[in-house]
Amino acid sequence: MHKPLDGLFLSTREQIDEEEQRIVNTVRQWVEREILAKRLPYLEHYEQEFAEKHRMLLMDIGLQRLVLSEKDGGFGWNSTTRAPGLAAVLIEIGRADAAIAYMSALQFTTILASGADSTSPVGNLISRFYSTDKPVNPAMILPGAGSLDEQTSLFLGRSINARLIHEGDNDILFGKNIRPTGCGAMADLFCVVCTDSAGQPRIAFVSADALGVQRGNILKETGLKACTNADVTFNHVRLPREAILEGIDAVERLYLWLNLLLGATSVGAAMNFFEIVYDWASTRTIKGGSIMKENPLCASVLADVAEEIAIARFLIDDLARLIARMAGPHSPELQHVYTMSQIVGYRVQQGTLRAVNRGMELMGSAGYAREWHAEKHWRDIKTIQSYLCGVGAEVPVKMDTARYFFDRREI
């Protein structure tokens, strides 16, 4: 490629300070050296390689502590002002392997949702959990599909399938065969959207070691293969008060971070797909000799690829800036940022998937051959997209949008 990726897919760099840029650069070096330069062996021995590269990122580079407060031994990226930096880091990781980025996004979201600071009881609990010299794998249980045989409490229409019952000084968590958004089989910590006995949304942080946490069989899923998933049952899981975060706001903040960070993950994967398809279209010939990208029809497909990725990156940058403003004096209201995050999250997943889908059209069998890696990005982004939908495709997000913009009162 004649131009660097950063030059092609412009981002609003003024949002990122020097320290953030240093981390981004470090991660980029890890991406280039540890994964992109060794991609075929990386895929050939994926399970072992994934674990090692993930460990390297979290422990050797130290990203496990990235969003912990400085007081808790972290890098201090525990404020909304760091949203642009976090998005930039995840774009880099997503370029290498969306599965690693996905787990990082869940980790950052879990910590940030907890308050990410030992001054609050929940933040203190989570900070301690992550202040260890071993990788801590998170999983997330979000509101989604309900079933006919049970009326559940709702988060803006989506069923909340876990519930807390207050008992003495403890809360007891129940939930049967609930589907996490990936990583259920390997998680050390579950971040669970649940309800209290009054039906109000809560977030519970549950150690996988807690008595009563049961996992089902490992699921075979489309992508994010390293994030092995399984249904989870919470059978009378006793939780201390500091493991519970109260308020619908907490759930909205959770989505806000998820939309930003998983959007950045997919943008990163799509940017690597762009590199792959650039190489393909520049070296393959059609019609008996002309370079593929010089053909006007192929060029228009390639333009679609670039356009979708460029727009997705702009959207992620804008969302990051919006979230960063939440810490300032003219902080936008949470409802506004939540709604925008849902809109952007949905659009970015759609756009990046469309970019890959279209680019694959030009690659023929190389598009679906494992060795070209395009298909992995395609499966990974699709998996993230479906996870984020929760249930009902884009309808829940559209309802959120209509609710905010048109003062809709129904769920």
Partner 1 sequence: MKSIDDFSRPEEYISPMDKHFRSVIRAWVDKDVMPHRREYDEDWKEHALIEPAFENLMANRGLGIQKALFPADLGGWGLGQSDYAFTIACTLAEEIGRADTAMGVAFMVTYWPLTTILVEPHVNRRLAAEFAPMFCKSDKAVFAALAMTEPQGGADIENMELLGGKTIKTTARLDGDVWIINGHKLWPTNTGGVGQLFGVPCTTRPGSTDPNDFALIFVPADVKGVTQGGPYEKAGMAADKNGDLWFEDVRVPAWYRVHGPGKDAQVFKEIIPWGLVASMGFIVGAMMNLYEVLYEFVSTRTYGNRPLKENDAIAGLIGRIAGDIEVCRIIAYEGARIGDRRNRPYGHPLYSEEVLAKLRNLKDFVCDRAVENFGRAMDVLGVYGPDRGYDIEKHWRDIKIIQLWMGGKQLCQMEAARYFYNCKTL
**Residue ranges binding partner 1 (CB under 8 A):** 142, 144-148, 151-152, 154, 157-159, 179-181, 219-224, 284-288, 297-298, 301, 353, 357, 360-365, 367-371, 375, 378-379, 382-383, 385-387, 389-396, 398-399, 411
CA distance 206 to 139: 10
- For partner 1, the closer of residues 28 and 179 by Cβ is 179
CA distance 339 to 399: 10
Q: Do residues 78 and 250 touch, judged by C-beta distance below 8 A?
A: no
Q: What's the min distance (Å) between Cβ of 138 and partner 1?
A: 16
DSSP label at 148? Answer: T
Q: What's the min distance (Å) between Cβ of 262 and partner 1?
A: 13
Residue 273's CB is within 10 A of a number of other CB atoms, namely 26
Q: What's the min distance (Å) between Cβ of 69 and partner 1?
A: 31
* Token pair listed for 123: 């933040």
- For partner 1, the closer of residues 200 and 386 by Cβ is 386
- For partner 1, the closer of residues 121 and 146 by Cβ is 146
CA distance 64 to 67: 8
Q: What's the min distance (Å) between Cβ of 393 and partner 1?
A: 4
Of the candidates 35, 25, 363, which has an alpha carbon nearest to the alpha carbon of residue 226? 35
Amino acid occupying residue 44: E
Q: What's the min distance (Å) between Cβ of 374 and partner 1?
A: 9
Of the candidates 226, 191, 229, 225, which has an alpha carbon nearest to the alpha carbon of residue 208? 191
- For partner 1, the closer of residues 248 and 391 by Cβ is 391
CA distance 72 to 82: 17
- For partner 1, the closer of residues 135 and 138 by Cβ is 138
Q: What's the min distance (Å) between Cβ of 42 and partner 1?
A: 14
DSSP label at 65? Answer: G
- For partner 1, the closer of residues 9 and 387 by Cβ is 387
